[in-house]
Each structure stands twice: as C-alpha cells, then as structure tokens.
Chains A and B, each alone.
Chain A
C-alpha cells in the first residue's frame, strides 16, 4: 500500500541533501539570547507582587464585614461551613450527574468553622471580662442552643445589612460578644498567627485561613478590583498590567457562557466547576491524541501552511 510505503519513507533516516548544523551552538545561542531578553524585561518591568491580605488588614479595613462573617461561621451559614467534602459533611457538593466525586472521596481535610475559626482562636488569648464570660457561656451550652443563638443573630444582622448597631434585642446568647472578641483579636494581629498555627509550632497548611478569608466580602472585593473573578475571564488575568496566563484562555472561556455562567441553572450551571473540569480533561486528551482524530489530523493537508515552511525545498525539488 502506498500509504505504508510513504510512512516507511517518512520514518527512514533522511538520505537527501543536508546542511551543516551545530546543535550545541544553537542551544547556547538560544540560551544567551533568551537570558538577555528576560533580563531586559525584568529590568524594565519587574514582576507582579501584590501584598498578601492578613486578617488584621481585613478586620481593620472592613470591620463590619469581618464581624458579619464571624457570625456566619458560628451560625454555619458561611460558604465554607456549608461546603461539604473535603471539609465537612454539610452538603453533597457539586455533582456530575449521579456522581458526587468530592463526597465520594470523603472529608479528608476536616474544617469545623465554629471551633477552628472562632472558638479555638479565642481560647488562645487572654480575653476581656465580657468576652471571657461569653466564651464560658458558649462552651458550657449544648450545640442546639449554640446553633439557635447564632442563627438568630445571623438572621437579625442580615436584616439590618450587617449594621450591628441596628440589631434589635433578641435571643442571641454570647454570639455578639464572641464576634466582637474575634474582631478585636483580628485587629490586634493575633488571629493570623492563631489560625495558622492551630496550636502547632511547624505549620505549612493555609487551608483554614483561606476558607475563612474567602467567606467574607473584603477578600472577594479585592479580587474584583483586580478583575480576577472567574466570570470576567479572571483566570487569565494577573494583578496590575502584567501579562497573565493566556494559556488558560480555554479553561476560562467556559465560565463566561451559558449554561455555566449561571449558578441557578441546573444541572450544569450549579455544577459548572465539575463539568468544566470534565470538558477540559477531554479536550486535553484530545490535544494529546490529536493525530488520531479524523478530520482534525487532515487539516494540515487541507490548509497547506506547510508550503510556507518548506517553500525552498519544494522549489528546489520541483514539488
């Protein structure tokens, strides 16, 4: 078959005309040129390095937001409290049809937003009288009572747009004082250390901090200000005017279009993360196996860009 013969010829060692070629010189030249270019851009433009956000910064810049988020953690209404696997069992999480893959893998990184984010950090500092008493009151109550207090206060705070001064009297127990205590702790700077260390000396896992930080509006607002939100092509973007991650264009694309850009759409919008991961996995596999895909693998023959690559060869060989 001519097809096999062509493959044999294309596989065999080239017996036609050759030219001298210094592989090592080419490699060294490329390395030198690119090093110089990179050094030039580095000298001219530097690199992006927006400072990390601390809990102190959050609590000082947006105390009402921090306070309200703390209440949500106690009430279990925050994003992380209701997340599901791998942090807790509060929800089934997203799904691909019948498959709840995160839930299947279980709670591998347990996070208890009430204790990890609020109660335990408060126990690591010497609190003022009222806060210390509030802590005692909370710790000596059963979980049903705790939940009632926190949910009541969370709902009341939401009704007054997070303005704690406008919350009417109600059955909130020690929750307002606990939130105030954590706010003071954060504003003083000690919450950052307490959340990271979790009682340890060595610690390199920022999961709890990231979840708590993300539950508030302040962190999200900083991201919006830098146009990093997923639904505005943020995955491709970098802080400032630096080039971002253009190679993530296709991954970012799916979040911009229906049904994935609407969290209320079921099942695709509500589970967009999972569906898009699946799509990108399939497309990546497609890229890897592209020469095996009929139609796509014949495009180079249909659109002969290669005639430009080998124009001299074709001229010299009369092809």
Chain B
C-alpha cells in the first residue's frame, strides 16, 4: 500500500529521534553553524511581520505609525535574512557540505536562495511607493527580453502582490522545509578528513 510504503520510508529515513535529536556530533562546535538557524529565525520574523502587513492591506503602512514600524520589521528582517543566508552558504561551501550524499541538501539550499531573491523581488514591487514604480519600470525590460514578461507582468500590481503574499512564500516554504528535513535526515556533514585514519591515508 502507498501509505505503508510512505510510513516505512519516513520511519527509516527520518525517525523522530533524527528529526528532534538531543545530541549532536561533537564536531558541530563553531559559530559558523549558527547561520542556518539564524536564517530560519529571520525568515520567521519576515513571515510574522509579513502576515501583519498582509492582514492590514497593501497601503496601511504609509499612513499608520504602527504600520510603518511593522514595515520596518519586515525590511530589516529581510536584510538579516540575506546576510545570514549568504554567510551560511559561504560556510557550507568551504566545508564541502555536499559530501556523504548531501548533494540534494546543497541543491535545495541553493534553490531556496534563488527563490528568496524572487520572493524579495516581488516584495519590492508591491511597496506602492516610488521604489516600486521604478523597479517595475526597469525590471519589465529584463523579463520581457526573454519572453517571461508575457506571463510574469511586473507592472501588474495585483499579480505581484498575490505572488508575493501567497504563491512564492508557499514555494519557498516548501523548499526550505525540504532543505531542513534533509539536514535532519542526513545529519550534519562530518569534517573533511574525519575518516583519514579509518581509510589509512589522506586521500
């Protein structure tokens, strides 16, 4: 049965002990490991402030002091999000974190990076201020030039706000969840050369 196969695969690859461990390998002992969770936490603040902005409507933050503050929370958490994500990427690259069949972890992480840029871009388009006007005016040329503009119309506010608030966060959320679950399932990559003794040399 499909459900049996799914359950058995789930229990084999991601038992609860791996999903919610209370130990970690002793080599996970560097500040560089903090940037993944920092990225996620920033995403949490982005989503929280974004939900508040969405609830109040697209123009609320222009004329409400609370609105301006929540918009500021959304703005600065995006800045943190990208800072932490890129430092996390640098760390994972120099650790060659794709080793030990963790290629998909890298791939989902890199896709999440690209999807984040796309999501942020639609956010910039829906500010309903001068910046949005300019960005949509300029960006249309890029997308039109490769034919994407026919479907993805950056000057269509209605389309952009629905993409930013519904479609893209869902896509990004799914990619992020898969990425994090992959880290849990595979475990944190061991150090390069960790098994040199077992393997008997330094190759």
Could you tell me if B155 and A211 are in contact, using CB atoms closer than 8 angstroms? yes
Given contacts A31-B41, A288-B114, A314-B191, contact A45 B23 (CB under 8 A): no
Pick from B75, B99, B145: contact of A277, CB under 8 Å: B145
Whether A136 sits at the interface, judged by CB under 8 Å, is no
Q: Quick one: CB contact mask for B63-74 with A, threshold 8 Å, 1 for yes?
A: 000001101111
For residues 18 through 35 of chain A, which have their beta carbon under 8 Å from a beta carbon of chain B?
A: 18-24, 26-27, 30-31, 33-35
Give the contacts of A301-319 with B (CB-CB under 8 A).
301, 303-306, 308-310, 312-314, 316-317, 319
Query: Do residues B80 and A34 form an inter-chain contact, with CB atoms below 8 A?
Result: yes
**Is B52 an interface residue when CB atoms closer than 8 A count as contact?**
no
Interface residue B37 (Cβ < 8 Å from any Cβ of A): yes
Chain B contact residue count (CB 8 A cutoff): 99
> Nearest-CB distance from B141 to chain A (Å)?
5
What is the distance, in angstroms, from B158's C-beta to the closest C-beta of chain A?
A: 3
Most chain B CB within 10 A, of A234, A235, A242, A300, is at A300
Contact present for B30 and A309 (CB under 8 Å): yes
For residue B186, which residues in chain A have a CB less than 8 angstroms away from its CB?
11
Q: Which one of B3-11, B124-132, B165-173 is at the interface?
A: B124-132
B87 at the interface (CB under 8 A from A): no
Q: With an 8 A cutoff between CB atoms, is A47 at the interface?
A: yes
**Contact across chains for A300 and B37 when beta carbons are under 8 A apart:** no
Q: Are B195 and A20 in contact (CB under 8 A)?
A: no
* A49-B137 contact in complex given A41-B72, A277-B145, C-beta closer than 8 Å: no
Complex contact A102–B130 (CB within 8 A): no
Chain B residues within 8 Å of A185, by CB: none
Are A49 and B192 in touch, CB under 8 angstroms?
Answer: no
User: CA–CA, A12 to B69, complex, Å?
Assistant: 47
**Structural contact, B136 and A104, CB atoms closer than 8 A:** no
A101 touches B146 (CB 8 A): yes
Judging by beta carbons under 8 Å apart, are A205 and B157 in contact?
Answer: yes
Contact (Cβ within 8 A) A52 B23: no
Given known contacts A42-B69, A94-B145, A238-B131, A47 and B120 CB-to-CB distance under 8 angstroms: no
Q: Which of A34-56 contact B (CB under 8 A)?
A: 34-35, 37-39, 41-43, 45-53
Assembly CA distance A243 to B120 (angstroms) = 14
Task: Name A residues whose Cβ lies closer than 8 Å to a Cβ of B.
Answer: 2-3, 5-7, 9-14, 16-24, 26-27, 30-31, 33-35, 37-39, 41-43, 45-53, 83, 85-86, 93-94, 96, 101-102, 104-106, 108-109, 204-207, 210-211, 213-214, 219, 222-223, 226, 228, 230, 234-235, 238-239, 242-243, 245-248, 271, 273-274, 276-278, 284, 287-292, 297, 299-301, 303-306, 308-310, 312-314, 316-317, 319
Can you report 14 A-B residue pairs in the complex whose CB atoms are below 8 A from each other? A16-B27, A19-B26, A33-B41, A47-B68, A86-B150, A94-B145, A109-B153, A205-B157, A277-B143, A277-B145, A287-B114, A290-B110, A306-B191, A319-B197
